[in-house]
Amino acid sequence: MRIDELLAAGTTRSFEFFPPKSDEESVVLEATLRDLEQLDPSFVSVTYRGGRESRQRTFDLVTRIERAGRLTAMAHLICVGHARSEVRDILKNYSDAGVQNVMALGGDIPDDPDLVASEFAHAIDLVELSREVGEFSIGVAAHPQGHPRSPDLASDRHHLARKLALADFAVTQFFFQVHEWTHLVEDLANRGVTKPVLPGIMPVTTLGGIARMATMGGVVPAVLVDRLEAASTRGGAKAVRAEGINAATELCAELLDANAPGLHFYTLNRSTATREIHDALFT
């Protein structure tokens, strides 16, 4: 199904994975897919880091999920390192394979001298090309704290509003306080854009994860850091994990109360934390 139609029908639940790079990662992902499939997600999303090998892994996983007929899949596409003709071929291949949903992203600038110079300036160019090639439901990325490469939040929101006006929905980078999502949605509405914005959820389950998340573009607020450190003092790593799951569950409940159109879980190809949050909310 098309994700814009799923969003129009009601609250969605979705999970994001990355394509495996080894046999060991494939075993882990297969187990995760089997486990989370039981939760009947609205759709699943498959990332793509760029380069021919990564692109093929994403294509293979997305089309395999679609052929199985049990889950709706969305394929990620990026601008970086791609010529327009190359992306047009990728989109045509997805369309021919029956894939109806794509995520149009700018992408991180890779340190790879073999990649061609990008013929896309921004993700909005990829949205426009996707519209030309096929009847896709198109998602874009949103950053509640602003994109790391944006000069300021106001300009980031301006460009996001233009991009989302042409797309069907957005999925946010992970964040940790409900007001980050509500402020983003209100800002977009003030700019005349009311397309669905799915909040992205990633629990912090270790103290080391605090620093890692900052490098991924999501600053963990001091109040959550204090909460996790207090848990560590009480009960070590196990208590930190439990507190991180509790905090993410509370955030999800607040988002649903604020009429979020759904919840999008960044799984890191593991099912345990996502399932615990999901079960606390929906069972």
Q: pLDDT band for 204, please (50, 70, 90 cuts).
A: very high
Looking at residue 164, its pLDDT comes to 98
Asked if pLDDT for residue 85 goes beyond 60, the answer is: yes
Report the chain's mean pLDDT, rounded to a whole number: 92
Any idea which residue has 């949050």 for tokens? 277
Asked if pLDDT for residue 21 goes beyond 70, the answer is: yes
Per residue in 256-269, is it b (16+ CB within 10 Å) or e — as a string? beeebbbbbbbbeb
Return the bridge partners of 266, or none. 16
Angle, CA 213 vertex, CA 208 and CA 217 arms, to 5°: 160
Asked if pLDDT for residue 50 goes beyond 70, the answer is: no
Range of the domain at 206: 3-282
Burial class, 276, CB count within 10 angstroms (exposed 0-12 / middle 13-18 / buried 19+):
middle
Rounded CA-CA distance 172/160 in Å is 11
Looking at residue 54, its pLDDT comes to 78
Looking at residue 109, its pLDDT comes to 57
Return the bridge partners of 170, or none. 140, 197
As separate numbers, helices (DSSP H) first and strands (DSSP E) second, the chain gives 10, 8
| 16 given a catalytic annotation | yes
pLDDT tens readout for residues 118-156: 788 789 999 999 999 999 999 999 999 998 888 999 999
**Which residue of the set 16, 66, 180, 243 is catalytic?**
16
pLDDT (mean) for 96-111? 84
Asked if pLDDT for residue 243 goes beyond 70, the answer is: yes
Domain containing residue 63: CATH number: 3.20.20.220
Q: Is-contact 87 129, C-beta < 8 A?
A: yes
Q: Which two tokens stand for residue 62?
A: 């997305």
Looking at residue 202, its pLDDT comes to 95
- Give the phi and the psi of residue 71 in degrees, each rounded to 5: -135, 150
Q: What is the domain count for the chain?
A: 1
pLDDT (mean) for 256-265? 98
